[in-house]
Structures are given as C-alpha cells and as structure tokens.
C-alpha cells in the first residue's frame, strides 16, 4: 500500500472487507470532489479492472443506508435501459453481501469499478466536451423520467430550496459564530439584494407549473466522465439523485461550463462567459431532454442558469460564516474566494441573460 492518507493497515482492512475480484497493490487519493474521500485502487493485474474506494461523508449524507438504496434503484434502472449496462456505475458489495461497509469508527465505505481511460474536467475547454456533457446529463434525466419518483428518497432535504438556503444564511449571519460577518458585508448585501428574484423556480414549482422529476442535483462538469476522444462515458456522483426540477441540473452544469475560469478563481477579472460552450451544452442537453421536457420547463432553464451560481454562493458564504464545516477547503478564506467567484459569474449572467435565453429558445425550436 502506498500514497494513502489513512494508515495503510486500516485501509487494507477496509479493502479486504469488499468482494473485489483482484489483488489490490495501492490506494491513492483521487479526484477533486468537495464532499467524499475518494481513492483509486490499483489492480496487480494491469489488464484487469481498477476500483474506486469512497468514504461517504455521513455528516453531509445523514442516512447512508437510504442513500445506498437510492443508488441501487437508480443504477439498476439505468442498466436495464442502457444497452449492455455499459456506462453506468457498478458497485462492488462487501464479502458479507452488503452494498457498503461501516467501520469501527462509524465511517461508511463503498467500492465502484473504476472506469479506466476516462477523465473528469474541472474546467471545460472545447465545444465537443460541452456538447457531450449536455447529452450525458440530458439522457440521464430522460432515462430516469419513467422511474417511479416515490421510490427515490431525499438524501439531503431542501438541497436546492432557495428559501431554505437563505434562511440558513440569515441564521449564520445572526449567530456569527466565527466573527466573520462584518468582513463580508458587500457579499451579504449582494445576496440580500437578489434574494427575492431568485425564488421564481421554487414559486413555479409550488404553483404546480413545473413537474418534480428525478434529477441529478450535482451536475457540475466533473461529475461526468469523458473518454480520451471526449465522448461522454458515464454520469457519476449519484448521491444527490433526488426529486427536483430539470432547471436545477441545467443550471448547475451551465455554472461550471460557461465560466471562463474556475469555480474558485481568485482573480475575478478572469471570470467571463464562454457563450459557444453554453450553446454546445444546450444543444446536447435539449437533444436528449426534448423527449420529456414541458414548455414551462424549457422556459425555466434560463432561471436555473442564474439560480445555481447564486445558490452556490449562498452555500459557500454560509459555510464561511459557520467556520468552513461543510465544503473541503484548501486554504483559509477559500469559501469566501468561491463566493466572490460565483458572484462575479452571477453578474456576467445577469448582463447577458436575454442573449442566453435566445440561444435556448432557438435550439429548442430546432428540435420541434
Ligand atoms: P465527490 O462527491 O467527492 O465529488 P465523486 O463521486 O464525484 O465524489 O468522485 C470524485 C472523483 O472521482 C470524480 O470527480 C471522478 O474524477 C472520480 N471518479 C468517481 N467515480 C469514478 C469511477 N467509477 N471511475 C473513474 N473515476 C471516478
Ligand atoms: C459539492 O461533491 P461535489 O464536489 O461533486 C456539493 C455540490 C456543490 C459543489 C460545488 C453533496 O459537489 O452541491 O454544487 O460541491 N455536493 C454536495 O463545487 O453538497
Ligand atoms: Mg463529484
């Protein structure tokens, strides 16, 4: 065992509890997710499958058995519908026949087959990548559109509920447990100014104009794997697959695709809009989602594109105010830097909203 941040002996014991049909020679930290801890497990047989070990963050996902049950239902449904079950996450159970392991410290672990020769991008650089990502997330929603929504439970209630997020934000300001509120007054004001306008999707949903669907809820671009030719291979990170609105997924992808800089760019001057990437993503997404989207949902997509960076900024700033307890950070002030980057993106989106909406409608017309 090498490259591990947990003691080797401990991780070896965890790995050996799983029914992995291979000899594992190393476990290395992998990926850039903000929530779970991920390790790539290397197979001694270079031609055989590698595996991916994850410690599920049970402070974020409070009911891991419920989450794993969702995952099982979703992956089974996808495998039944996708030819040969290819391009769907495959879980490896424990030797005791369970889908996850709980260790003596109370941590939850699971293992997937590692999808070799794939890449996940934190930053999108080509129209091909954006188009392929759009197809992957559109087809993901389409494939789940006939699954009984009542089977899928909420792993994090109110995940994209803006009222709930704003309430938590106001509570964090009021308690100001880390004495940080006075140093972020401009960012607080930015959020308060826009709070009301951002509740449109929620209101449309409450009024029954938008159908609840099974959606992914965490469609940032690094949650789709592409192959070496940038063809989409698999949608991953299924922990937040829950009932929600189609516009949430569209908006979260756009948040990461259209931005000319990273989600946490410190130099906000570098944050701009890459409109051709947005157009390519929209083309891929609507190509697949046209089979089930209603006109009201299509009208809501642009609102999702504005809401998701906004709600993300509310969550980052709340976490900053609460002392960085939710998102992994890589430096002090990281959550504030992320907040500012999302605000810069919201401003750019606001300035260009009509043009972006025009692209969505033109693309939609082509598919009618
Ligand atoms: P997090 O919730 O922390 O974002 P993810 O499930 O997204 O966790 O996994 C983190 C990273 O690991 C992904 O961004 C991707 O690069 C990689 N990854 C996840 N699942 C697989 C897989 N089955 N095969 C190959 N790489 C994977
Ligand atoms: C988290 O797990 P990851 O890194 O794919 C978060 C998302 C945020 C994202 C911001 C369960 O996603 O909601 O949009 O960070 N996931 C959870 O980068 O909170
Ligand atoms: Mg992820």
- For residue 36, give the ligand nearest its CA: 1
User: Whose Cα sits closest to atom 7 in ligand 1?
Assistant: 237
Is the distance from the beta carbon of residue 33 to the nearest atom of ligand 1 less than 6 Å? yes
Strands (E), 64-210: 91-92, 101-102, 108-113, 118-119
**Distance of CA 333 from the midpoint of ligand 1 (Å):** 25
| Residue 252: other Cβ atoms inside 10 A | 28
Nearest-ligand number for the alpha carbon of 238: 1
**Ligand 1 centroid from CA 236, angstroms:** 6
Short-list 176, 33, 231, 22, CA closest to 114:
22
Compute, in angstroms, the gap from residue 184 CA to the centroid of ligand 1: 33
Residue 9 confidence (pLDDT): 81
Pocket test for ligand 2, best of 35, 60, 164, 313 (most atoms within 8 A of CB): 35
Q: Measured between alpha carbons, how far is residue 362 from residues 173, 304, 312, 352, 368 in Å?
A: 42, 18, 28, 16, 10
pLDDT of residue 7: 59
Q: Cα-flanking dihedrals φ and ψ of residue 235, to 5°?
A: -85, 130
- Tell me which H or E stretch contains 40: strand 37-43
- Evaluate whether 304 touches 250 at the Cβ level (below 8 Å): yes
pLDDT given for residue 33 in this prediction? 86
Closest ligand relative to 54 C-alpha: 1
- Give the CA angle between residues 16, 19, 25 to the nearest 5°: 50
Query: Burial letters for 319-338: b for 16+ Cβ neighbours within 10 Å, e otherwise?
Result: bbbbebebbebeeeebbbbb
38 alpha carbon – ligand 3 mean position (Å): 10
What pTM value is reported for the model? 0.96
Angle between helices 127-144 and 64-81 (to 10 degrees): 100
Atom of ligand 2 nearest to the CA of 255: 14
How does DSSP assign 309-357, residue by residue? HHHHHHHHHHHHHTTS-SS--SSTTHHHHHHHHHHHHHHHHHHHHHHHH
Alpha carbon distances (Å) from 215 to 143, 185, 188: 10, 34, 30
Query: What's the rounded Cα separation, in Å, for the pair 66 and 247?
Result: 25
So what's the pLDDT on residue 306? 98
DSSP label of 158 = T
State the angle between helix axes of 185-194 and 295-321 in degrees (0 to 180), rounded to the nearest 10: 160
| Ligand 1 pocket, mutate which of 225, 234, 326 (most atoms under 8 A from CB) | 225
Beta bridge partners of 113: 51
Query: Mean pLDDT in each 10-residue stretch from start to end of the chain (368 residues)?
Result: 56 95 94 92 96 97 98 96 81 97 96 94 95 97 98 98 98 98 98 97 97 98 95 96 98 98 97 98 98 97 98 98 97 98 98 98 96
Distance (Å, rounded) from C-alpha 169 to C-alpha 119?
A: 35
Q: Of the residues 236, 238, 239, which should be mutated to test ligand 1's pocket, given the most ligand atoms within 8 Å of the CB?
A: 236
CB of 89 sitting under 6 A from ligand 1: yes
């Amino acid at each position: 065992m090498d490259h591990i941040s947990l003691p080797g002996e401990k991780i070896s014991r965890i790995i050996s509890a799983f029914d992995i049909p291979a000899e594992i020679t190393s476990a290395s930290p992998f990926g850039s997710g903000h929530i779970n801890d991920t390790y790539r497990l290397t197979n001694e047989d270079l031609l055989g499958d590698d595996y991916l070990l994850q410690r599920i963050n049970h402070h974020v996902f409070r009911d891991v058995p419920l989450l794993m049950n969702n995952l099982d239902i979703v992956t089974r449904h996808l495998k039944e519908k996708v030819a040969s079950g290819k391009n769907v996450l495959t879980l490896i159970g424990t030797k005791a026949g369970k889908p996850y392991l709980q260790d003596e410290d109370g941590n939850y672990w699971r293992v997937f087959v590692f999808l070799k020769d794939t890449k996940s991008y934190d930053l999108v650089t080509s129209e091909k990548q954006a188009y392929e990502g759009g197809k992957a997330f559109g087809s993901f929603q389409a494939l789940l559109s006939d699954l009984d929504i009542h089977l899928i439970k909420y792993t994090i209630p109110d995940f994209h509920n803006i009222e709930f997020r704003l309430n938590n934000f106001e509570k964090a300001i009021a308690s100001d447990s880390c004495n940080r509120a006075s140093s972020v007054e401009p960012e607080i004001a930015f959020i308060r100014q826009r709070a009301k306008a951002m509740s449109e999707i929620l209101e449309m949903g409450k009024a029954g104009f938008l159908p609840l669907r099974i959606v992914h809820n965490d469609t940032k671009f690094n949650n789709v794997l592409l192959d070496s030719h940038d063809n989409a291979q698999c949608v991953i990170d299924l922990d937040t697959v829950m009932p929600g609105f189609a516009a949430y997924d569209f908006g979260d992808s756009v948040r990461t695709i259209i931005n000319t800089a990273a989600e946490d760019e410190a130099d906000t001057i570098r944050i701009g809009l890459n409109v051709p990437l947005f157009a390519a993503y929209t083309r891929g997404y609507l190509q697949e989602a046209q089979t089930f989207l209603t006109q009201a949902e299509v009208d809501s997509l642009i609102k999702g594109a504005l809401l998701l960076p906004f709600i993300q900024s509310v969550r980052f700033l709340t976490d900053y105010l609460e002392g960085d307890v939710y998102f992994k950070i890589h430096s002090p002030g990281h959550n504030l830097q992320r907040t500012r980057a999302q605000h810069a993106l919201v401003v750019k989106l606001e300035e260009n909203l009509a043009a972006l909406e025009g692209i969505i409608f033109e693309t939609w017309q082509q598919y009618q």
